[in-house]
């Protein structure tokens, strides 16, 4: 009966709080150890995942190479490099090369435009020359 009175008045056994999920004695070293184990498990899982992925990628590359050999195709990087080299070689003497590659004397100069305009003005009749000068 004494036990019932203590429990009713809040003086129950000291283990009641632990049984109900209350405060437990926490060991910082044990928690640290658990965290280290968890981190190690995560690292190990990540390594296994990467190993699995690299193995699958290697198998795929072997299959791709077999297809390339069978049909005479080139690797994407090789094809892009050849296309770039062909474009560079084709634009060597092209008329559409970039302006910075235009040699001096061949580009647009203001002096040349004025001299062309003067030349055209010589061949126009007087009234047209006056109208264009304005």
Measured CA angle at 57 (ends 51, 62), to 5 deg: 130
Which DSSP category does 55 fall into?
H
pLDDT tens figures, 4-31: 666 666 655 556 556 666 555 678 888 9
**Cβ(129)–Cβ(121) under 8 Å?**
yes
**Cβ(120)–Cβ(128) under 8 Å?**
no
The pLDDT, as a whole number, for residue 34 is 94
**Cβ(74)–Cβ(82) under 8 Å?**
yes
The token duo for 97 is 């090369």
Identify the segments of the chain with pLDDT beneath 70.
1-25, 89-114, 134
The pTM for the full model equals 0.38
């Amino acid at each position: 009966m004494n036990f019932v009175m203590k429990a009713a008045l809040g003086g129950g056994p000291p283990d009641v709080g632990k049984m109900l999920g209350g405060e437990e004695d926490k060991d910082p070293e044990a928690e640290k150890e658990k965290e280290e184990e968890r981190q190690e498990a995560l690292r190990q899982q990540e390594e296994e995942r990467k190993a699995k992925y690299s193995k699958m990628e290697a198998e795929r590359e072997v299959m791709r190479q077999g297809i390339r050999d069978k049909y005479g195709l080139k690797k994407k990087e090789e094809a892009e490099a050849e296309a770039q080299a062909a474009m560079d070689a084709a634009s060597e003497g092209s008329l559409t090369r970039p302006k910075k590659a235009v040699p001096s004397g061949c580009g647009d100069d203001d002096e040349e435009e004025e001299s062309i305009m003067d030349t055209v003005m010589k061949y126009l009749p007087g009234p047209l020359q006056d109208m264009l000068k304005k």
